[in-house]
């Protein structure tokens, strides 16, 4: 099959590669760029495990052809942390037990990053609708909501809410 040369920026680094026209962006990222933090959970863009940012907007990379990403700027989970440390969303997920198996986490976090950029102080309902394109099978979502609220507070420069679990007594 005819291959096509593409060049894109992934997590700030330029990357060129040859791809078949049918190659999905997620396969390009995982197999050619060898960044395996982006996962594949379905084939129908239902689960969101493969969510990345393309030019700052979240996209399900299993539904984007690699050639469509030519010339674009991509952020994957590997690009969230900086020299100063992890991104507030990563801290939020860890501190609030927003993940169990970790498989959906990358996609969840990248989706949340865009959500918080557009809506820095989302309500619980905003968050639940905002991540409704991403499936998590382990957590029951309570703590994902908490994690995103925590990251929002941190990004707004406010005091972060308590991460202690709350029980009815």
Q: Which residues bind another protein (CB under 8 A)?
A: 20, 22-23, 27, 30-31, 35-44, 46-47, 49, 76-78, 80-81, 86, 90, 93-95, 97, 99-106, 109, 124, 127-129, 131-145, 164-165, 167-169
Task: Count the neighbouring beta carbons within 10 Å of the beta carbon of residue 63.
Answer: 15
d(CA 99, CA 95): 10
- Whose Cβ is closer to another protein: residue 159's or residue 169's? 169
Q: At 35, list the tokens.
A: 């960044």
Residue 79 C-beta: closest distance to another protein, Å? 9
Q: Which helix (H) or strand (E) holds 84?
A: none
Question: Which is nearer to another protein, 71 or 110 (by Cβ)?
Answer: 110
42 or 119, CB closer to another protein? 42
How far out from the chain centre does Cα 4 lie?
A: 27
Task: Pick between residue 8 and residue 71 the one whose CB is nearest to another protein.
Answer: 8
H or E stretch covering 19: strand 13-19
Query: Which residue do the tokens 């040859």 mark?
Result: 18
CB of 15 to another protein, least distance (A): 16
Inter-CA distances, 43 with 3, 6, 49, 122, Å: 23, 23, 11, 30
Shortest distance, position 27 Cβ to another protein, whole Å: 8
Q: Which two tokens stand for residue 113?
A: 């990053």
Residue 31 carries which DSSP code? I
* CB of 70 vs another protein, minimal distance in Å: 19
We find the least distance from the C-beta atom of residue 26 to another protein, in angstroms, to be 11
By beta-carbon proximity to another protein, the closer residue of 71 and 118 is 118
């Amino acid at each position: 099959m005819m291959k096509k040369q593409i060049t894109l920026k992934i997590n700030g680094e330029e990357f060129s590669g040859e791809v078949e026209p049918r190659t999905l962006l997620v396969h390009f990222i995982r197999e050619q760029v060898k960044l395996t933090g982006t996962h594949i959970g379905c084939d129908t863009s239902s689960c969101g495990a493969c969510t990345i940012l393309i030019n700052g907007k979240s996209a399900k990379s299993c539904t984007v052809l690699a050639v469509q990403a030519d010339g674009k700027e991509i952020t994957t989970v590997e690009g969230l942390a900086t020299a100063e440390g992890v991104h507030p969303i990563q801290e939020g997920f860890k501190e609030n037990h927003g993940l169990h198996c970790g498989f959906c986490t990358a996609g969840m976090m990248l989706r949340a990053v865009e959500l918080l950029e557009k809506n820095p102080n989302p309500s619980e309902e905003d968050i639940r609708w905002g991540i409704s394109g991403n499936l998590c099978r382990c957590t029951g979502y309570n703590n994902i909501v908490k994690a995103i609220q925590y990251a929002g507070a941190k990004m707004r420069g406010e005091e972060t809410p308590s991460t202690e679990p709350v029980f009815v007594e």
